Amino acid sequence: MSKKVISIALILFTAVVLFAKTIEVRNLIARSSGNNISLKWNVNSETNLEQFEIQRSLNNENSFMKIGEKQPNGSFAYEFIDSEAHFIVNPHSPKAQNKLLSDQVYYYRLKLINKDGTSTFSENTSPLVHNVNSVKRTWGMLKEMFR
């Protein structure tokens, strides 16, 4: 093959790699729904996607922690229910006991993990205040007493 054909093939390959469809998270929305927080999102593509890692933070800074994961399912639309948002482990406690929180502000984001091991993060959600009803808080405190 001539150098010209090889050069054109290399340019085309580079263009395909550079302009390949990147995965974009659209409409990442968290809503307080009863005792849980519902997190919903859409993506434009699932090409090369291994999994979504769902992360939560109390301060919208670098203290996001993994709370779950979802596998791509071909639907491009996802939902995750955070049923433990009202319990936060206090790492500074000697026994790392759970603390019941009410009116806490939460932030969520997604870590998109690709099959090749690379990853990217979604934008963070808007702040969400989650109000847990008093029955759920009381029942949670009683359960914690007997653990």
Q: Are 96 and 90 in contact (CB under 8 A)?
A: yes
CATH class, 22-145 region = mainly beta
Boundaries of every domain in the chain = 22-145
SS3 65: strand
13's enclosing H/E stretch is helix 3-18
Bridge partners (DSSP) of residue 98 are 89
**pLDDT reported for residue 112:** 95
Res. 25: pLDDT tops 50: yes
Q: Are 23 and 112 in contact (CB under 8 A)?
A: yes
Q: How far apart are CA 52 and CA 119, in angstroms?
A: 10
**pLDDT reported for residue 41:** 95
Q: What is the pLDDT of residues 92-122, one digit of tens each?
A: 455 545 555 566 788 999 999 999 999 999 9
**In 3-state terms, the chain is what percent helix, strand and coil (to 5)?**
20, 40, 40
**pLDDT reported for residue 51:** 96
**pLDDT reported for residue 54:** 96
38's enclosing H/E stretch is strand 36-43
Q: What is the pLDDT of residues 27-61, one digit of tens each?
A: 899 998 777 899 999 999 999 999 999 999 888 77
